[in-house]
Amino acid sequence: MIRYLAKLFNALAKRQRSPVKQSSVTKLDSGLTHNLKHIMDELGNGSDVVNRQFLIGRSAPVLAGVIFIDGLVDQEMINDNILQPLLRIELERPVDLDVLEKSFLAVGGLKRVETMETLVEGVLTGDTALLIDGQPSALLLSTKKWEQRGISEPDTEVIVKGARDGFTETLRTNTALLRRRIEHPALRFDTMKIGKKTRTEICVAYIQGVAEDKLVEEVKKRLRRIDTAGILSTESIDQFIDDAPFSPFATVGYTERPDVCAAKLMEGRVAIIVDGTPVVHTVPFLFWESFQSPDDYNFRLFYANTMRWIRYLAFFTSVLLPGVYVALSSYHQELIPTNLLISMAAATEGTPFPAVVEALGMGVVFEILREAGIRLPRPVGQAVSIVGALVIGEATVTAGLVGAPVVIVVALTAIASFLVPSQVESAAFLRVVFTCLAGVFGALGIINGLIFVYIHLASLRSFGVPFLAPVAPIVPADLKDVAVRVPIWMMWTRPKSIDSPDRIRQAMRIRPEVPEEGHDDDRS
Amino acid sequence: MKLEKGKIDGRQLMTLMAGFLFGSAVLIYPGQWAGNESWIAIWGGFVEGCILLLVYIALMSRFPGKNFVEIVKEVYGRFLGNLVALFFLAYLFHLGSLVGTNYHDFIKLTMLVQTPSSVILLFNSLVIVYAVRKGIEVIARCSEGMVVLLCVFYVIIFLMSCSQIEWTNFLPFFSAPLAKVLWATQMTGSFPYGEVVAFLMIFPAVNNLKEIQKRSLKALLLATLIFSIGSVQTIGVLGDTARLYVYPGFQSGRLINIANVFTRLEIVIGVNFLLMGFLKMSVLLYTTVLGIAQVFNLKSYKPLVLPVGFLMGLAALINFSTVSENIEFNNLVYPIYVLPFQLIIPLITLVVALVRKLPRNGGDSI
Amino acid sequence: MRKGWMVLAVLVCLLAGGCWDRQELDELALAFAAGLDYDMEQKQVKLITQVIRPGQMKSAESGGGSTGQGGQKASFILESQGKTVFEAVRKASFQISRRVNWTHNMVIIFGKGAVKAGVDKFLDFFVRDPEPRPHQHILVADGRMEEIFKFRPNLEKASAQTLEGMMKNAVMTSEIYPVTLQEFVNDLMSYSKAATAPVVAVIGEGKDQKLQLVGTAVFKREKCVGKIDPKETRGMLWVIGKVKSGIFSVPSKDYGEVGIEIIQASSKIQPKLDGKELTVRVDVKAICNIGEQQGGEDVSKPEKLFRFQKKLESEIKKEIEKAIKRSREMKADIFGIGEAFHRKYPKQWKSLEPEWEQHFPKVKFSLNVKAKLELIGESLRPLHAY
């Protein structure tokens, strides 16, 4: 069904896109001034466009020109490797591009172009265009260099043990980070440009033979479908290729860590790297990936497993706790232990609102505080949290506006939700739904709500893979990294649900073995 | 033309069928009418269920890849076949509404006393309609986790109530009159075991015929084991008072008290029931709408789901005027009422198919 | 998308429709104890409900039965009447601003009138209604019931909590047999077995008042037929194997007493039907520990221990025999002997059951008590220089 729809949409998209492809192609003229003028017009005589004309050769000088965009190029390189050799050419006879290319230009990347469009496009990406009077073609010299952020640890995915590098805003840096981790020729980067105006470079990364060909094709198909003016962040790409756009759950994963991305590629997934953002998307994305942190694989087995389960618990807490509190306190008092009930009743004595309103209200207050804490400059943000914690939390309780249990519940919920960063968005939404349902139906509302969410999750697919795999449907082989994290040497197959053509990840019997005691004697 | 393209595998069939059997039975568990002898009734019902299942599978294997509505159409011809099919579908619809009634009674009696019945059933129908619209594949996928969860819950609850079980409650053995035990066996045979007749509509979604047979029997066995655990727990804990309560299983959960920490566990039994009731109702709604769509040669069953789902909820509302009527119906009428649907129609269809040597084009069964 | 709107509309309707069963915590009056009595002349059920004030329950000042902030006590009582228990329950809610909630009720106490009139008609409400839980303890009041409800305990805030705690402590002596609603109803439903419930009374006057469990009431079917004292209660518990712990005093050879603690006990009832003759063989096994010694006997010698054991066995036997004697007088089968016959001889039981009251006093008991002193505490010798 999904495939069919995708195909259908693709066909529609092709029909729409066809006029774009037929846009006129302007061949380069042999007259230099005409060409330069045309290019400058195309670029709108921008103040950042540098147009330098000079003469090549002493005896029969030929007029030549370079065009590049200031700030995108390596000025030094242009001076030393392009302009200097060209200005010192001693040849008598008129030069042609071949000779220049072969003997004089000390530039790594070099491309001969015939059309105006490719030339302009190249200049816009930071190449330098070299045009020579009388030649109907030009040279694009790769001189890209611009100011960029250094490789630093991503703030959003901090880990305790492990690599500290993170993706940056530059596509090339990112691909290089991946290449450094997977030094195999099968690692492929297929690039395409998306966005009529932004012409964002997008790179589909995968390991051939490990990622399913159909999957790669599907990703490219969905990317090609995007026909928009501009892509400014990966997030917008995510929304274009999402399987279930109206679901609270994202079916496309993201990471800022090259080690995570490389691990996903090794599992047979496909990564989408977009120029201009440090966030790399991986597909297919399954629900349980949200609970996997790189630390899980770096820490000792038992600790890592405990933490994994704490994260599951935290997710359920962050979604259900306010709802459960409301259901228990206003519907099922018989389920609360007597002493706890007395404490709760004593604490809520005389509060003006029903529990459901308290829980929803305090939830909103928390969201406001959180948003303020993120948006405000850091020093002010701290002030906000102090005000939030002390004034709002303490004062509302002492003033008798809300009961203390609600404040505890909301605070616990809030903290729990940060344990699973990639599900923060879905949890925030579901929390409200469950609180409302609990307010109307008590436990019945929560259970029916859970069934509803479960059906929804089970019906989702991420690029053809059931979103809830390997739990629904149960894939026993894949539970090794979901129910528990088994030792790395036991994970000898790739996840079955992703259906990689190369199922075997490593040799089966590589359990660490301690040499027999006799060997110790030999050594000593 | 296939209305349902979804495919389920053997294990999913097993969990779906087990979940279907658990249905309302985890609460009003089978054989409770027989008191101390309920476990005899449960295993008697299991044998009866196995026999019925073999009839269904014999029918299935003659017409591979066809569900019951398609089979009767082929066996009895277009007109008569549709008539039989509608008759059968009416039963599935009614069964769905009966489960709805149980569901609603339970909620009214234990949790939400004042909430209007219509609201509870509407809410419930919404969830089921949503599930059925997603298709059998999703329902089956959901069933896997739910059934595993239920079994774990059940075993935990049983272990926790072990300390409360008075083994003398089971004595004396075989004290009930034979007629009562036989009647109780027929009760368990008809509810829940015989109700797997609904799966005649679902079997074609499974690829492998051998798998169907093996997994269905396993599902029956799993359900029987869980029922046995439940009945041992209930009789052991409650003894004679088991006869006192409408929901003895629920009551036995209330009695669990381990070190004053693990108490009030009846909610777990309640949750089990709500989950399994959901599964059973979804399966029944799904089979009903699928059958209707096939009888009337519709292109898709999806538009039917919402109206039929709400009608089912409505029927659940007006089935009985009081709870005791429902209990009376379950105890006295239901075991006889279901005979035509669970036994006679499938059996006659099988016999007619054998006599007419159907299917004509070489019955190459897999 | 239209679908989504429809779902949304239905959800909004549900939310707007209201919350029918919602009961906020601050709209509840939690009942902790229910006292039931019956006025024979007016045919009225009299209900006393102990309701707590959560605020006062929590505040530290209001401990020890004194009054808390604002001079309010942690609990108060409501008295109401009605033709049925349910009517009385609703009328109790009518006297206060909140609805009485029974989900955490701890004890049900029967007054004199109620036990005379038959308790079954009062208990049905507590079984049928979804609010009360099956773990509530059943008690019978000796003397005026209001006193029990108004009693100000020292540690807890409400007398119901004290009673609940006393039930838990019953295992220390095994002289009281606490019964829960579930167990009581189970016994009531049996034709042959007599149900029992502890008897509670307030002893003393004014400041020196104390709550005490004074014995066990015996019910034949729904009516109370008598009372047995704590020692007899333990005699009953030996037979049914419910002795958990307890203390015995056995005279020492020279002077003083030896305090012996029961650690573990079990029993086995084997009925035997021989023609018209009904005999029951009761095997009681007890494992004990020396907890205290006043005299000067050296218990580190095994033969001394054996002597104690013999003594102990005869003491236990005496207790059991007293209980059997009392039960014969009352013609009440407090041991569940009838049930044992029912299990073993289901066919003959049909003829025995209707006249069990006549048969029971004739049942012959043969008692086999085995006591074992396994431990002697942490000292080897008595505290004597010689």
Nearest alpha carbon to residue A344 among A359, A360, A357, A328:
A328
**Interfacial A residues in 264-283 facing B (CB < 8 Å):** none
Number of structural domains chain B divides into? 1
A309 to chain B, any CB pair closer than 8 A? The answer is no
Asked if A123 and A43 touch (Cβ cutoff 8 Å), the reply is yes
Which long-range contacts link A505-514 to residues 24+ away (Cβ below 8 Å)?
Answer: A505/A266, A511/A487
Residues of C within 8 A of A247 (CB-CB) are none
Question: Tell me, what CATH number does B346's domain have?
Answer: 1.20.1740.10
B123 to chain A, any CB pair closer than 8 A? The answer is yes
- Using CB atoms, which residue from B111, B140, B142 is nearest to A443? B111
DSSP label of A478: G
Residues of C within 8 A of A330 (CB-CB) are 19, 22-25
Strand C107-110 and strand C75-82: the pairing is unpaired
- Using CB atoms, which residue from B123, B124, B138 is nearest to A459? B138
Which residues pair with residue A129 across a beta bridge? A67, A140
Q: What is the mean pLDDT of chain A?
A: 84
Average pLDDT over residues B9-19: 92
Asked, for residue B1, whether it belongs to a domain, the answer is no
Q: Among A464-473, C150-159, C248-257, which stretch is predicted with the lowest mean pLDDT?
A: C248-257
Query: Which pLDDT tens digit goes with each residue over A112-168?
Result: 888 888 888 888 888 888 888 888 888 888 888 888 888 888 888 888 888 889 999
- Residue B364 binned pLDDT confidence (cut-offs 50, 70, 90): very low
Q: Measured between alpha carbons, how far is A457 from A451 in angstroms, rounded to an integer?
A: 10
- Using CB atoms, which residue from A330, A331, A342 is nearest to C58? A342
A287 to chain B, any CB pair closer than 8 A? The answer is no
A54 to chain B, any CB pair closer than 8 A? The answer is no
Residues of C within 8 A of A404 (CB-CB) are none
C344 to chain B, any CB pair closer than 8 A? The answer is yes
Query: Which pLDDT tens digit goes with each residue over C82-104?
Result: 999 999 998 888 888 888 889 99
Q: Where in chain B does DSSP place strands (E)? A: 257-258, 262-263
Residue of C nearest to B118 (CA): C14
Residues of A within 8 A of B270 (CB-CB) are 443
Query: Which pLDDT tens digit goes with each residue over A171-209?
Result: 889 999 999 999 889 999 999 888 888 888 899 999 999
Greater pLDDT, C356 or C1: C356
Asked if A465 and A499 touch (Cβ cutoff 8 Å), the reply is yes
Interface chains of chain C (3 or more CB pairs under 8 Å): A, B
**Which pLDDT score is estimated for B83?**
93
CATH number of C230-386: 3.30.300.210
Strand C364-375 and strand C277-293: the pairing is parallel
Mutate which: B7, B109, B142, vs A, most A CBs within 10 A = B142
Which residues pair with residue A283 across a beta bridge? A270
> Which helix or strand (DSSP H or E) is residue A141 part of?
strand A138-141
Q: Measured between alpha carbons, how far is C52 from C29 in angstroms, rounded to an integer?
A: 7
Q: Is the dihedral of CA A6, A235, A15, A220 positive or negative?
A: negative
Query: Which pLDDT tens digit goes with each residue over B103-143?
Result: 888 898 888 888 888 888 988 998 999 999 999 999 999 99
**Which pLDDT score is estimated for C2?**
62
Asked, for residue B332, whether it belongs to a domain, the answer is yes
Minimal C-alpha gap between B269 and chain C (Å): 15
A7 to chain B, any CB pair closer than 8 A? The answer is no
Domain that holds residue B68: 21-355
Residues of A within 8 A of B5 (CB-CB) are 1
**Interfacial A residues in 436-455 facing B (CB < 8 Å):** 441-445, 447-448, 451-452, 454-455
Three-state DSSP class for residue B166: coil
Minimal C-alpha gap between B48 and chain A (Å): 31
Helices A355-375 + A301-330 axis angle, to 10: 130
Average pLDDT over residues A443-451: 92
**Which pLDDT score is estimated for B18?**
93
Residues of B within 8 A of A459 (CB-CB) are 134-135, 138
What is the 3 state secondary structure string of A185-243? CCEEEEEEEECCCCCEEEEEEEEECCECHHHHHHHHHHHHHCCCCCCCCHHHHHHHHCC
**Which pLDDT score is estimated for A61?**
79
**Chain-chain contact of B241 with C14 (C-beta, under 8 angstroms):** no
Which residues pair with residue A201 across a beta bridge? A193
Asked, for residue B154, whether it belongs to a domain, the answer is yes
**Chain-chain contact of A356 with C26 (C-beta, under 8 angstroms):** no
Q: What is the mean pLDDT of chain B?
A: 87
Average pLDDT over residues A329-334: 89
**Which pLDDT score is estimated for C62?**
43
Strand C137-142 and strand C107-110: the pairing is parallel
Q: Residue A113 is encoded by which pair of tokens?
A: 């172009």
Q: Residue A50: which region, alpha, beta or left (left: phi > 0; alpha: psi -120 to 50)? A: beta
B36 to chain A, any CB pair closer than 8 A? The answer is no
**Chain-chain contact of B144 with A473 (C-beta, under 8 angstroms):** yes
**Which pLDDT score is estimated for A18?**
47
Average pLDDT over residues A508-513: 81
A465 to chain B, any CB pair closer than 8 A? The answer is no
Three-state DSSP class for residue C111: coil
Asked if A258 and A177 touch (Cβ cutoff 8 Å), the reply is yes
- Using CB atoms, which residue from A337, A444, A458 is nearest to B138? A458
**Chain-chain contact of C190 with B114 (C-beta, under 8 angstroms):** no
Q: Residue B178 is encoded by which pair of tokens?
A: 């034979």
Nearest alpha carbon to residue B41 among B197, B194, B173, B187:
B187
**Chain-chain contact of C20 with B238 (C-beta, under 8 angstroms):** no
The pLDDT of residue C177 is above 50? yes
Average pLDDT over residues C210-225: 87
Minimal C-alpha gap between B327 and chain A (Å): 23
Q: Among A379-388, A479-488, B234-243, C34-43, which stretch is predicted with the lowest mean pLDDT?
A: A379-388
**Which pLDDT score is estimated for C66?**
44
Query: Which pLDDT tens digit goes with each residue over A228-266?
Result: 877 776 667 888 888 888 889 989 998 999 999 999 999
Q: Is the dihedral of CA A3, A8, A9, A11 positive or negative?
A: positive
Query: Which pLDDT tens digit goes with each residue over B233-282?
Result: 888 888 878 888 888 888 888 888 887 778 888 888 889 889 999 999 99
**Which pLDDT score is estimated for A514?**
82
Q: Where are the domains of chain A?
A: 27-141, 171-285, 297-465
**Which pLDDT score is estimated for A243?**
87
C337 to chain B, any CB pair closer than 8 A? The answer is no
**Which pLDDT score is estimated for A132?**
84
B264 to chain A, any CB pair closer than 8 A? The answer is yes
- Using CB atoms, which residue from A441, A443, A471 is nearest to B267? A443
Amino acid type, C86: F
The pLDDT of residue A69 is above 50? yes
Asked if C180 and B257 touch (Cβ cutoff 8 Å), the reply is no
Asked if B231 and B42 touch (Cβ cutoff 8 Å), the reply is yes
Query: Of how many residues is chain C composed?
Result: 386
- Number of CB pairs < 8 Å for A and B? 79
- Using CB atoms, which residue from C4, C17, C25 is nearest to A344? C25
Residues of C within 8 A of B132 (CB-CB) are none
**Which pLDDT score is estimated for B88?**
93
Three-state DSSP class for residue A255: strand
Amino acid type, A148: Q
Query: Which pLDDT tens digit goes with each residue over C273-289?
Result: 887 888 899 999 999 88
**Chain-chain contact of A451 with B131 (C-beta, under 8 angstroms):** yes
Q: Among A52-56, A99-103, A320-324, A493-497, which stretch is predicted with the lowest mean pLDDT?
A: A99-103
- Number of CB pairs < 8 Å for A and C? 69
Query: Which pLDDT tens digit goes with each residue over B160-185?
Result: 888 888 888 887 777 778 888 888 88
- Using CB atoms, which residue from B116, B175, B251 is nearest to C134? B251
Query: Which pLDDT tens digit goes with each residue over C63-79?
Result: 444 444 445 688 888 99
Minimal C-alpha gap between A346 and chain B (Å): 22
Q: Measured between alpha carbons, how far is C211 from C154 in angstroms, rounded to an integer?
A: 11
Minimal C-alpha gap between B330 and chain C (Å): 21
Interface chains of chain A (3 or more CB pairs under 8 Å): B, C
Greater pLDDT, C234 or A19: C234
Find out whether the peptide bond into C153 is cis, omega within 30 degrees of 0. Answer: no
Q: Measured between alpha carbons, how far is A70 from B329 in angstroms, rounded to an integer?
A: 87
Residue with tokens 């027989």: B34
Minimal C-alpha gap between A460 and chain B (Å): 9
Asked, for residue B10, whether it belongs to a domain, the answer is no
- Using CB atoms, which residue from B130, B145, B146 is nearest to A452? B130
B127 to chain A, any CB pair closer than 8 A? The answer is yes
Q: Where are the alpha helices (DSSP H) in A22-132?
A: 32-42, 75-77, 84-87, 97-99, 116-124
**Which pLDDT score is estimated for C3?**
64
Residues of A within 8 A of C21 (CB-CB) are 331, 442
**Which pLDDT score is estimated for C171?**
84
Q: Where in A235-333 does DSSP place strands (E)? A: 253-255, 270-274, 280-283
Which residues in B have their CB inside 8 Å of a CB on C? 109-116, 119, 122-123, 126, 168, 171-172, 175, 238-241, 244, 251, 254-255, 257, 263
Q: Measured between alpha carbons, how far is A415 from C233 in angstroms, rounded to an integer?
A: 55
Instruction: Count CB atoms within 10 A of the CB of residue A220.
Output: 17
**Which pLDDT score is estimated for C276?**
80
Q: What is the dihedral of CA A481, A487, A493, A497, to 10 degrees?
A: 0
Q: Measured between alpha carbons, how far is B352 from B354 in angstroms, rounded to an integer?
A: 5
